[in-house]
Chain A
Amino acid sequence: MAFRDGPFENLKVPLAWTAAVVAVVGMIGAGLLLLSDRTAPDGAAGYNAVRGATETVTGPVSGVLAAPVRWIGAVTDYVGGYFFAVSENRRLKAELAELQPWRDQAIALKNINGRYEAMLGLRTEPAVPMLTARAISESRGPFKNAKLIDVGGAKGVRIGNPVINEHGLVGRVTGVTGGVSRMVLLTDVASRTPVLVDRTDARALLTGDGSGNPRLEFVRGAGSVQAGDRILSSGDGGGLPRGIPIGIAAKGIDGSWRVKLFSDRGAIDYVRVLLFQDFGQLIDPNVLNAPPLAGLTTAPPPSEAQAGAIGDAAARRQAAAEAQAARARSAAAAPAPTRPTPARSAETAPQPPPQTSPEPAPAPGGVT
């Protein structure tokens, strides 16, 4: 019997209702996904295997698409360099003449600074190794400002590594796969960066909001920021090295302090990943989580002779304690004197019964 001849012949499932059911189930599933996809306290989203697989697959595709853009840029630079070589040469000569005194001063200051550090015993920050990478894809919307770069865990990139370009700080790595990493820009709505004002050393928090100019929040001190102040990374919290240039303070149209980022002065195509390890990464967490006395060695179990000596000492202590208790009982049971006797000299005064001092227990390892 064919299906259409059976009792379900006239059964009609309304398509709109089934589609609505699928839509509602999808909305519930999306809601559950949103609730389960929590952001870690350090700003790194839960970087699960699905995200890593997606970026591993889309990374090379985006890299292929970005290649023509790179070639066109190279051609433009070549043509521009050919036609503007003379003017650029003059500009560079002027810049070189201006920078030579600064170079001499920098050498002298570096020498003096090194002597001061040696005399004061300062623990200076070690040199940070770097890794050059290329941006292959980016998201620029209001809800996410991030880029994919073509280096990953295989080259030593870790979550939290700062990323800079030739102008200043760009962002931080928040996800790493084998060959591709995702870096969140300073402008992302979830980005928080501890910064300082170079002129006053005042601290603040750089908060992205999806626009090109992140806000300066929690600025300490009245009048500590002026338009034009240089903003640097403060290094507070250990997530970033201190002193990386970030931008220039400016007053926004909404009245808040904002930062014009140095990194926006050019295209963020080639970047450098600082393989910077903060204090949290340098210390083994197992060491911090160990019990306080776990480092002390415990005594080995006693040998038979040691156990016998320990037992003898304990028996002697117990016998002495029992004898003292018996003397105390007999002294309490004796009749009290009827009249007071004259005071006697200290030499003839009754002495308390001699107490048998218990012998100290032999050290487990010292008695043979």
Chain B
Amino acid sequence: MRRPVAVRVVGPLQWIIYPALAAVAATIVFATPVELFGLTLPEPVFPMVLAFAWPLIRPSMTAPAVLFVLGLFLDLFWGGPLGLWPLCLMAVYAVILLSRNLLAGHEGLIRFAWYAACTLGAFLTAYVIVAIRAANPPSILSLIGQVTPTLILYPIADWMLERFDDGDTRFR
């Protein structure tokens, strides 16, 4: 008699809702006004990881909707113009969704290069929008100060892909 094999069920709760809540919590924690020896906490855009990983894991209607809500949360929590981060995150999601066949099977440096390119594109979009609205371009050094910690978050995206991407050909 064969023993039943435990089937791992990975639903939207595991790969969409929990990571989204974790991104919200991390954003709130990193906004704590800590200053030690003149240094403050970094302020990465945590949902950027999800905007990159979710379309590669599998296409879903829920994921972009949750991503939109996450972007709205960033705007409301940070006090930025409403619609700025939803637009940038959805743009990253759309680009990766269109390119997922190109990205399938790639790992390591190639995947990181795509992540970096998407992150830079999103920040460039945000930079242009803010510069036009405020009639004043933000500082490049300050921009680098937020892009760099966002790029450092790539291992989280890589871990999510290894954890949730089941390689189901129905989603290709």
A interface with B by C-beta (< 8 Å): 15-16, 18-20, 22-24, 26-27, 29-37, 39, 45, 50-51, 54-55, 58, 61-62, 65-66, 69, 135-144, 146-147, 174-175, 182, 184, 189-190, 207-211, 267-269
Number of A-B contacts (CB under 8 A): 175
Q: Does the CB pair A144–B79 fall under 8 Å? A: yes
Mark out the residues of chain B between 124 and 144 whose CB falls within 8 Å of any chain A CB in the assembled complex.
Answer: 126-127, 129-131, 133-134, 136-139, 141-143
Collect the chain B residues with CB atoms within 8 Å of residue A16's CB. 59, 97, 100, 171
Collect the chain A residues with CB atoms within 8 Å of residue B143's CB. 142, 210
Collect the chain A residues with CB atoms within 8 Å of residue B153's CB. none
Q: Does the CB pair B94–A23 fall under 8 Å? A: yes
Collect the chain B residues with CB atoms within 8 Å of residue A58's CB. 28, 77
The residue of chain A having its C-beta at the shortest distance from the C-beta of B29 within the complex is A65
Mark out the residues of chain B between 51 and 85 whose CB falls within 8 Å of any chain A CB in the assembled complex.
Answer: 55, 58-61, 63-65, 67-68, 71, 73, 76-84
Collect the chain A residues with CB atoms within 8 Å of residue B31's CB. 62, 137-139
Residue in B32, B83, B141 whose CB lies within 8 Å of A137: B32
Given A23-B64, A143-B130, decide whether A138 and B33 contact each other with a Cβ distance below 8 A: yes
Interface of B is mostly: helix
The residue of chain A having its C-beta at the shortest distance from the C-beta of B40 within the complex is A140
Chain A to chain B contacts (Cβ below 8 Å), 20 pairs: A15-B171, A16-B97, A19-B60, A22-B64, A26-B64, A26-B67, A26-B86, A30-B71, A33-B83, A34-B82, A37-B81, A39-B81, A45-B79, A58-B28, A138-B33, A139-B77, A140-B40, A141-B43, A142-B142, A209-B137
Q: Does the CB pair A175–B79 fall under 8 Å? A: yes
Q: How far is the CA of A19 from the CA of B65 in the complex (A)?
A: 9
Q: Does the CB pair A190–B64 fall under 8 Å? A: no
Q: How far is the CA of A141 from the CA of B86 in the complex (A)?
A: 16
Collect the chain A residues with CB atoms within 8 Å of residue B63's CB. 19
Task: Answer yes or no: B145 CB below 8 A from chain A CBs.
Answer: yes
Q: Does the CB pair B68–A26 fall under 8 Å? A: yes
Task: Report the minimal beta-carbon distance from A71 to chain B, rounded to whole angstroms.
Answer: 12
Q: How far is the CA of A58 from the CA of B127 in the complex (A)?
A: 26
Collect the chain B residues with CB atoms within 8 Å of residue A35's CB. 83
Given A62-B28, A65-B28, decide whether A23 and B87 contact each other with a Cβ distance below 8 A: no
Given A30-B71, A66-B33, decide whether A142 and B145 contact each other with a Cβ distance below 8 A: yes
Given contacts A35-B83, A138-B32, 14 further A-B contacts (CB under 8 A): A20-B97, A26-B64, A27-B86, A30-B84, A34-B81, A37-B82, A51-B76, A65-B28, A135-B33, A137-B32, A138-B33, A140-B40, A189-B134, A211-B142
Given A37-B81, A142-B139, decide whether A29 and B86 contact each other with a Cβ distance below 8 A: yes
The residue of chain A having its C-beta at the shortest distance from the C-beta of B24 within the complex is A58
Q: How far is the CA of A33 from the CA of B65 in the complex (A)?
A: 15
Given A26-B65, A269-B33, decide whether A34 and B129 contact each other with a Cβ distance below 8 A: yes
Q: Does the CB pair B87–A69 fall under 8 Å? A: no
Q: How far is the CA of A39 from the CA of B129 in the complex (A)?
A: 13
Q: Does the CB pair B65–A147 fall under 8 Å? A: no
Collect the chain A residues with CB atoms within 8 Å of residue B90's CB. 23, 26-27, 30
Q: Does the CB pair A23–B81 fall under 8 Å? A: no
Q: Does the CB pair B28–A146 fall under 8 Å? A: no
Given A142-B146, A211-B142, decide whether A19 and B59 contact each other with a Cβ distance below 8 A: yes
Task: Report the minimal beta-carbon distance from A218 to chain B, rounded to whole angstroms.
Answer: 13
Q: How far is the CA of A260 from the CA of B138 in the complex (A)?
A: 17
Q: How far is the CA of A115 from the CA of B78 in the complex (A)?
A: 49
The residue of chain B having its C-beta at the shortest distance from the C-beta of A208 within the complex is B136
Collect the chain B residues with CB atoms within 8 Å of residue A20's CB. 59, 94, 97-98
Task: Report the minimal beta-carbon distance from A183 to chain B, rounded to whole angstroms.
Answer: 10
Q: How far is the CA of A54 from the CA of B82 in the complex (A)?
A: 13
Q: Does the CB pair A61–B68 fall under 8 Å? A: no
Task: Answer yes or no: B93 CB below 8 A from chain A CBs.
Answer: yes
Task: Answer yes or no: B116 CB below 8 A from chain A CBs.
Answer: no
Collect the chain B residues with CB atoms within 8 Å of residue A140's CB. 40-41, 43
Q: How far is the CA of A34 from the CA of B126 in the complex (A)?
A: 11
Q: Which 3 pairs across A and B sit closest by C-beta, in order of nearness?
A: A33-B83, A211-B139, A34-B83
Mark out the residues of chain B between 102 and 141 whose CB falls within 8 Å of any chain A CB in the assembled complex.
Answer: 126-127, 129-131, 133-134, 136-139, 141
